[in-house]
Amino acid sequence: MNRSATGLERLLERIDGRGYPAYKEIKGSWTLRDFVLEIRRVQGDPFAAPSSVAVLLDSHVAGFPEALTAARARRTGLSCLLARTFADQARRLGQLRRTGHGRSGEIAMADPGQVVLPQTAVLVGEDGRLEARFTVGLPANGRRVRGRDAARLLLETLPSLVASSLVARAHDPAEAALHAETNEDAEFLRAQLPERGLVAFVANGSLLPRRSGDDDRPLRREDAVLFESPAAFRVVLERPNGPPVAGMGLPEGVTLLAGGGYHGKSTLLNAVARGVYNHRPGDGRERVVTDPTAMKVQAEDGRAVAGVDISPFIGTLPGGGGTARFSTANASGSTSQAAAVIEALEAGARLLLVDEDTSATNFMIRDRRMQALVQGRDEPITPFVDRARSLYEDAGASALIVIGGSGDYLDVADRVIGMAAYAPRDLTARAGEVAAAHPTGRLAETAPARWPSMHRCPDPGSIRPERGRRRVAVKAHGTAAMEFGRERIALAGVSQIVSPAQVRAIGLALARARAAMGANRTVEEVLEALRERMESGGLDALSDAPSGDLAAPRVQEVAAALNRLRTLRVTAP
Give the chain's residues under pLDDT 70.
Answer: 1, 95-99, 452-453
530 and 498 share one domain: yes
> Is residue 519 included in any domain, yes or no?
yes
19 and 133 share one domain: yes
> What H or E segment, with its residue span, contains residue 163?
helix 158-165
Q: Other C-beta atoms within 10 Å of 33: how many? A: 8
363 and 469 share one domain: no
Indicate the residue among 138, 155, 171 that finishes a domain.
171
The gap from C-alpha 569 to its chain's centroid, in whole angstroms, comes to 25
541 and 418 share one domain: no
**Contact assessment for residue 72 and residue 38, using Cβ atoms and an 8 Å cutoff:** no
462 and 335 share one domain: no
> Is residue 269 included in any domain, yes or no?
no
Indicate the residue among 171, 197, 225 that finishes a domain.
171
10 and 127 share one domain: yes
58 and 120 share one domain: yes
Indicate the residue among 134, 150, 171 that finishes a domain.
171
**Model confidence pLDDT, tens digit, residues 56-91:** 999 999 999 999 999 999 999 999 999 999 999 999
> Is residue 190 included in any domain, yes or no?
no
**Contact assessment for residue 281 and residue 112, using Cβ atoms and an 8 Å cutoff:** no
For 241, 465, 526, 545, 550, the CA distances from 471, given in Å and listed in that order, are 46, 7, 21, 13, 18
**Residue-number span of the structural domain to which 464 is assigned:** 457-571
495 and 526 share one domain: yes
113 and 26 share one domain: yes
* Residue 98: predicted pLDDT: 57
> Is residue 495 included in any domain, yes or no?
yes
Q: Indicate the SS3 state at residue 263.
A: coil
Domain count, the chain: 3
* Residue 416: predicted pLDDT: 98
* Residue 1: predicted pLDDT: 63
DSSP 8-state assignment for residue 235: E
Q: Indicate the SS3 state at residue 194.
A: helix
19 and 167 share one domain: yes
For 1, 112, 182, 185, 445, the CA distances from 175, given in Å and listed in that order, are 37, 17, 10, 15, 56
18 and 140 share one domain: yes
498 and 375 share one domain: no
> Is residue 418 included in any domain, yes or no?
yes
Name residues whose C-beta falls within 8 Å of residue 168's C-beta, 6 or more positions apart in sequence. 62, 63, 64, 65, 176
**Model confidence pLDDT, tens digit, residues 445-465:** 877 788 866 799 999 999 999
* Residue 320: predicted pLDDT: 74
**Model confidence pLDDT, tens digit, residues 493-533:** 999 999 999 999 999 999 999 999 998 999 999 999 999 99
* Residue 542: predicted pLDDT: 95
> Is residue 212 included in any domain, yes or no?
no
> Is residue 47 included in any domain, yes or no?
yes
